[in-house]
Amino acid sequence: MPSLLVELFDHHTIEKNVYQTFICDCDEVLFLSLKKITEDERLALKHFLLDQVSHVKQVHFRQISLDKITDDLNLFLTNYDSVTLDVFGGDSILAIFLYQYGLEKQLPIIAIDIEQGKQFKWKMGKVEKEELVIPNLTIEQLMALRGGKLLKSKQPFHTPKQIAAIKKLANFALTNPEEWLKVTQFFASARTSNLHSETGKELENNGKRYSYPKSIISLLTDADLLHIEEETSKQVSYTFSTPEAQLLCRSKGHILELYLYLLALESEYFDECMIGAEIDWNGIFPEADNVQNEIDVVLRKGRSIVFISCKMTDLSVEAINELELYATHFAGESCLKLIVCSGKINPVYINRCYEYGVLVIKNDQISNIIPMLEKKLKRKSR
């Protein structure tokens, strides 16, 4: 007969529902709740466990009332050879009733301390404690647990020479935003085929003229973003090294995303770093009316996840609302949300960010963003 793990469903922090399933070698899982578990929550959690935890074969859900808990559990548990009760998380009143039921039926009772990496077992009238290695969920797993799907992300590799050049380029762009805009507009205006362009050094677009950015070409070539093949006083022929390099040279804001990604990578503090994470809202791809979004930079340290929105424009209400919506939906309310903005910031929007729990990083704070994040995450894990 199969073995069963009985869990208290946690509505607030959905990932707390899965840690014990990785540790406990059970065939099936039963989630109990005093409140209704929504269909979206059921489907996402069931799909996640059957896909990610190899020994779990079935997942069950029950909305239960305290006055009928004994009868309902007696009826359900008759089909199992062994039953383990986990009283960690979920509703505290339901936890007490489940604990009492376990004592009466002499069933194994366990609870885990995720932060301390310990599991507690009630045996023979006393508590036994053991050290555990509790797995951390990856960024992709955290999104899947909430019904989303990580379609793709970029984790580019750069040599030390390239990194140094990109950081100098980012410093130029952040210090001289109007000049950087002219640089990107020049490359965006030039006709390009298969990453290659042969163009004049003076280009016109929508009534504005843009000049070949001679002063920073060495930074672009040192960063291996483009290769100059031929240059005269009026013409230049060049090739972008990759589609990502073309994107960086032709869009104003991508340099900020790459800069933050490289700072995070260089720090060696984070367990995962992603740039340009494309996420499907319901994990079904492709489909009609598909809803997808892109998160500029996503970082993870242990069980803490960070969503960063990068703006090389003035801060807008739309940007704040989007970040709050995406972060809460895909990573939960405990997600650390940042907007890094090099443009103007209306004081009214700062208050809105505070209400949403969004941390705003201004232009003069960008170079110090990693120590700030480390401090925030260490304080959060205490």
Q: Beta 208-211 vs 118-123: how paired, if at all? A: unpaired
Confidence (pLDDT) at 83 = 94
Same domain, 266 and 347: yes
The predicted-structure confidence for 189-238, as pLDDT tens digits, reads as follows 999 999 999 999 999 988 899 999 999 999 999 999 999 999 999 999 99
For 88, residues 6+ apart whose C-beta sits below 8 A from its C-beta are 8, 16, 20, 95, 110, 111, 112
Same domain, 105 and 30: yes
- The CATH number for 300's domain is 3.40.1350.10
143, part of any domain: no
- The CATH number for 55's domain is 3.40.50.10770
SS (H, E, C) 227-265: EEEEECCCEEEEEECCHHHHHHHHCCCHHHHHHHHHHHH
104, part of any domain: yes
In the chain, which stretches have pLDDT less than 50?
284-290
DSSP 182-201: HHHHHHHHS--BTTEEEEES
The predicted-structure confidence for 128-159, as pLDDT tens digits, reads as follows 888 888 889 999 999 888 888 888 888 888 99
295, part of any domain: yes
- Token pair of 178, please? 């109007």
Domains of the chain: total? 3
Same domain, 246 and 257: no
Same domain, 172 and 243: yes
Q: Which of 230, 250, 270 corresponds to the end of one domain?
A: 250
Same domain, 166 and 115: no
Instruction: Tell the residue number behind the tokens 């970040």, with chain if given.
Output: 323
Same domain, 112 and 191: no
pTM, rounded to two decimals: 0.88
Q: Which of 199, 227, 250 corresponds to the end of one domain?
A: 250
Q: Which amino acid is at 240?
A: F
Q: How far apart are CA 67 and CA 83, in angstroms?
A: 21
Same domain, 7 and 131: yes
Confidence (pLDDT) at 205 = 87
140, part of any domain: no
318, part of any domain: yes
Q: How far apart are CA 96 and CA 119, in angstroms?
A: 18
For 63, residues 6+ apart whose C-beta sits below 8 A from its C-beta are 33, 34, 35, 36, 37
20, part of any domain: yes
Same domain, 185 and 265: no
Same domain, 17 and 131: yes
C-alpha 219: how far from its chain's center? 31
Find residue 193's DSSP bridge partners: 196
Same domain, 290 and 235: no
202, part of any domain: yes
141, part of any domain: no
- Domain extent for 218: 160-250
* Percent composition of the chain: helix, strand, coil (DSSP 3-state, to 5): 40, 30, 30
- The CATH number for 187's domain is 1.10.10
DSSP 76-138: HHTT-SEEEEE-SSS-HHHHHHHHHHHHHHT--EEEEETTTTEEEEEETTEEEEEE--PPPPP
Same domain, 68 and 116: yes
Same domain, 278 and 328: yes
Q: Which of 250, 272, 302 corresponds to the end of one domain?
A: 250
Secondary structure letter of residue 315 according to DSSP: -
Assign 364 to helix, strand or coil: helix
